[in-house]
Amino acid sequence: MYGIINSKSTTTLKTKTHPYYKLIYDYLLEEISSGTLKFGDKLPSEKELCSTFGVSRITSKKALELLAEEGLISRLPGKGSFVGGSVGRKAIPVKNLPASRVIGLIISDFNDAFGTHLLYAIEETCTALGYHLILKRSQDSVAAEERALQHLTAEDAAGILMLPVHGEYYNAEILKQIVNKRPLVFVDRKMKGLPAPSVSTDNVASAQGGVEYLLQLGHRNIAFYSGPIEHISTVEDRWSGFIKAFSDSGIIFEPAFCCTNIAVGSDTDTLIAHLSKYPEITAAFVSEFSISLMVKQALETLGRRIPEDFSLITVDAPAYMQDSLTYLQQNEYEIGKRAVEVLHSIIIGSDPASIGDVQISAQLKLGGSTAAP
């Protein structure tokens, strides 16, 4: 609901100088900036503004149109005007708006398994808050990531969202952005040791839940397959969740069943060799969808069937695979929305150190790749 405009406000308005539409604009802008009218709140209608301030419909309409032109509100035919243009979204004050209205997003790539809904959320939330989004794909190249950061610096971006490239070392350009105090938020993963907040899945709890499901089915010899566990936390957190599931269940796991050096797209032979060496493995938690496809290929080569001979859980899945896989579905839309909101709060003055890391739960989706051993 919108705030009540009291008689004191009306008297103050009528003693000010013309034009009246600008005075109504200033009043509503102050209500938004102070947080009295919050993100997603409905503003008074043209008719209500006419009655409250004793002005014509044209005057009140012009004030609302000016707010809409500046991206502070959206006007929805038949519904009214809303702060930020989104009904029922989380409230965010929009005071201290920066001169630059550009936000940069650097992402390795995106596909149906992960990234598309994340982009939808980021673009929609940026638009609702009045930002223009610049998208840069690094394709997991440190050099491309560095060029993207330099381009966004040249554009004087108000803030940057980024899914950092996997690598042994931090990109020095990231450190430069932080030292220069450009608002920056990591998405989908944390960068340990860097004073910038992140918005990601709660990978420890999610992986733990997936492995506990396999244990409940009766599996005990469970493998963990992933790429290298590096300082970028996604895989490391899933590994921690894997271990925690066994620890909390009082069941001992076999470290030899875990293989954490899989190169995506080129290591099927490594998986075949590992599964051949340990035929007692009856299930696996796979840290990412692309590696799960390699595990399926290795099992087919060995003549083992899913789920009759082997159960598999992975993270994310494209629509065409969702019925045939049991997987952890990350809430991409919520991650993207919250990432923009966190970045916006830093842009308008919040201390990044006071925000910390935001973690969003994933949901276990049961499909055709799991069964009792």
User: Mean pLDDT of successive 10-residue segments in the chain (373 residues)?
Assistant: 40 53 85 73 88 88 85 77 54 49 92 88 91 92 93 93 79 86 92 87 96 98 89 83 97 94 83 96 96 96 97 93 93 95 89 88 96 96
Asked if residue 19 has a cis previous peptide bond (ω within 30° of 0), the answer is yes
Q: Hey, what are 138's tokens? A: 């690094």
**Are 68 and 118 in a shared domain?**
no
Q: Hey, what are 91's tokens? A: 């409230």
Mean pLDDT of the chain: 86
**Are 106 and 187 in a shared domain?**
yes
Q: Read off the amino acid at residue 155.
A: E
Q: What is the CATH number of the domain that holds 66?
A: 1.10.10.10
Q: Hey, what are 33's tokens? A: 């900036």
**Are 108 and 154 in a shared domain?**
yes
Q: Exposed, middle or buried by CB within 10 Å (0-12, 13-18, 19+), for 283?
A: buried
**Are 339 and 326 in a shared domain?**
no
Q: Is residue 372 part of a domain?
A: no
DSSP line for 137-176? E-TT-HHHHHHHHHHHHHTT-SEEEE-PPP-SS--HHHHH
Q: Read off the amino acid at residue 69.
A: E
Q: Give the pLDDT confidence score for residue 4 in this predicted structure.
A: 38
Q: Say if residues 160 and 131 touch (Cβ distance below 8 Å).
A: no
Domain that holds residue 53: 7-83
Q: How many domains does the chain divide into?
A: 3
Q: Give the pLDDT confidence score for residue 17 in this predicted structure.
A: 53
Q: Give the pLDDT confidence score for residue 350 in this predicted structure.
A: 84
Secondary structure letter of residue 131 according to DSSP: P
Largest CA distance in the chain: 86
Angle at the Cα of 140 from the Cα atoms of 291 and 230, rounded to 5 degrees:
65
Q: Is residue 33 part of a domain?
A: yes
Q: What is the CATH number of the domain that holds 251?
A: 3.40.50.2300
Q: Is residue 2 part of a domain?
A: no
Q: Read off the amino acid at residue 49.
A: L
Q: Say if residues 326 and 367 touch (Cβ distance below 8 Å).
A: yes
Phi and psi at 343, nearest 5°, equal: -60, -45
